[in-house]
Chains A and B, each alone.
Chain A
């Protein structure tokens, strides 16, 4: 693993515990450059993602987050061409051998711009599109569609035009459309970048729900570190096409200096503890990353 050796293993928290679980996605020595580009977008990626994980991919714009995600359902190298070396195995299937439309049965994908993903004249038909392509009988479609719309909180809007929805609703519709196909793996590429704050929370909450309740493997590219800290159990940091950190949120966000050097932020509570340690010599056993952890940390520290 690329970043593994850098990090001290933590008891009771390491994603290594996940190792008991089945690996669902494996990147093996993957290097990819887009057509007519000399600098590779991904360099020597080695990564394993286990079943049921909530994986967050963190990185600056252009770091390679989207490229990495597009490799999972085979858009790269089957639809977007370039120099592709190495292998990506999803559920044991090599993405180079299976086109995206077949991988779609395993991998659901939601992109950053909801409008670019909607094509139908009504919300229900939008969700039905994937089911039609999978050949689900019409009678079975209705409960699936209702269930998917309920999961994302869009029930009752079946007959509305997708283009008459708000940004957050559109993105949740895109999620429902992918969700209805019951994929094992759910990939979301900055799903909140084009929507308002309330819409953001809605989308993030839905993603967490899919992971916790429907036990899907969720892979989310996201800028909001607070969100990542709250939900993810595996964080990958990409910089200039390379994985530089790979571990649990606690492991990754403990590397405050390293993250700040490449221009990434850590959760505010983590930074607070980091500064206390740096400037006042306060001993920090483990950096808090969530509010309740920070509360505990503050209580412990100031009691002394």
Chain B
């Protein structure tokens, strides 16, 4: 199981993006999230994706980004496959081609592409934010804008516990193997769950005692070690993020010509190749994943 974790954490670096305070980055990420859900316009979503890729380049985090996307991309792509057959779109649907019981619809392709664009664009921005921000700075900033300290703390501790539990899992699996039990495959995972979770509960109990011993939750004011400084440039980025979100949102609401769902048409060849390649990417991903699980 080791090494199977997606590296969703900070990638140390010295890029301009690393130097921006967490709040402006969060503002842009949330702006993108809002806009992505407001529109189905492929051009806007495409711009978001391109911007996301550009930021990935500026932050020099292509390698970790690829490692994340290898897992997530097939999941995003499958929406093209599923939507083409059963569009989440008001009827009437215009059929393009049919294979027996399945029919590919114009609206389905459109809907699939937009859903893929939303998910991909949002994830890109979120990942750039996470990978260029120290988790402690992120939490400290969240606390500044009113996130409760305890909630913050829970997040931090959870992040820390994941690798530890993973290692414990490995230890338990080795112990199972050394006692002649099944040590590989899915069948070995289930019986290992019990010792790992009992261990986790014990660990959390110990942790709470040790935290209280360090005055956690004591009366009086609490201070913060990490002091995130917002420079003028950070404020500019923050405000421009909010303005951009607001302006784009307003544009989407007002300009009805941005809805291309009826005007955009897909030729049968393009539709089939899109659906087939989406299906192929997804099934090959699932096959590789299953193969890996069986092998470990």
Contact = CB atoms under 8 A, between A and B. Distances in A.
A133 B203 CA distance: 22
Interface range on chain B (Cβ under 8 Å from partner): 20 to 34
B199 to A, nearest CB: 11
Interface in A148-205: 163, 174, 177-178, 181
B216 interface: yes
A138 B222 contact: no
B218 A125 contact: no
Contact of A134 (B160, B210, B220, B224): B220
A102 B220 CA distance: 10
Interface stretch (A11-19, A48-56, A114-122, A256-264): A114-122
A101 B210 contact: no
Contacts of B217: 101, 133
Given A125-B226, A137-B223, A138-B225, A130 B215 contact: yes
A116 B207 contact: yes
A181 B215 contact: yes
Contacts of A128: 225
Contacts of A107: 213
Contacts of B134: 121
B178 interface: no
Interface residues of A, number: 43
Contacts of A178: 213-214
B212 A181 contact: no
Interface of A: 70, 73, 75, 79-80, 99-102, 104-105, 107-109, 111, 113, 115-122, 124-125, 128-138, 141, 163, 174, 177-178, 181
Given A121-B135, A174-B210, 16 more contacts: A101-B215, A101-B218, A102-B215, A104-B214, A105-B215, A111-B206, A116-B207, A119-B153, A119-B211, A121-B136, A129-B216, A129-B225, A133-B217, A133-B218, A135-B223, A138-B225
9 closest Cβ pairs, A-B complex = A128-B225, A104-B215, A133-B215, A116-B206, A101-B218, A130-B214, A135-B221, A109-B213, A100-B212
Interface of B: 134-136, 153, 156-157, 159-160, 163-164, 203, 206-227
15 contacts: A75-B209, A79-B208, A100-B209, A101-B217, A104-B212, A117-B207, A119-B153, A121-B160, A130-B215, A135-B222, A137-B223, A141-B225, A163-B160, A163-B163, A177-B214
